């Protein structure tokens, strides 16, 4: 499970923008956001870098 959706919402960033930055299709990013598919570790680190967050913040829900 990942928190990509929550982080995108917190930062006001659209999935389309993230897809462009990752050079991935919107459908692939949407699969990550909806937790249908999990990104590879390489992609997870790229997403974290693009969103300026720690990769762990994309994996662990805040309690």
**5-60 pLDDT tens trace:** 999 999 999 999 999 999 999 999 999 999 999 999 999 999 999 999 999 999 97
For tokens 């389309």, name the residue.
16
Q: Say what the pTM is.
A: 0.89
What is the pLDDT at residue 1? Answer: 87
User: Is it the case that residue 62 has pLDDT exceeding 60?
Assistant: no
Q: Which fold has domain 4-58?
A: 434 Repressor (Amino-terminal Domain) (1.10.260)
String of DSSP letters for 1-42: ---HHHHHHHHT--HHHHHHHHT--HHHHHHHHTTSSPPPHH
pLDDT at 61: 61
pLDDT of residue 15: 98
Task: Return the pLDDT at 60.
Answer: 73
Domain-wise residue ranges, the chain: 4-58
Residue 45 to residue 22: CA distance in whole angstroms: 11
* Burial of 14 from C-beta contacts in 10 A (0-12 / 13-18 / 19+): exposed
């Amino acid at each position: 499970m990942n928190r990509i959706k929550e982080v995108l919402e917190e930062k006001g960033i659209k999935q389309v923008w993230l897809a462009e930055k990752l050079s991935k299709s919107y459908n692939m990013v949407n699969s990550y956001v909806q937790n249908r598919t999990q990104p590879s570790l390489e992609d997870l680190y790229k997403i974290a870098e693009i969103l300026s967050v720690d990769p762990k913040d994309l994996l662990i829900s805040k309690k």
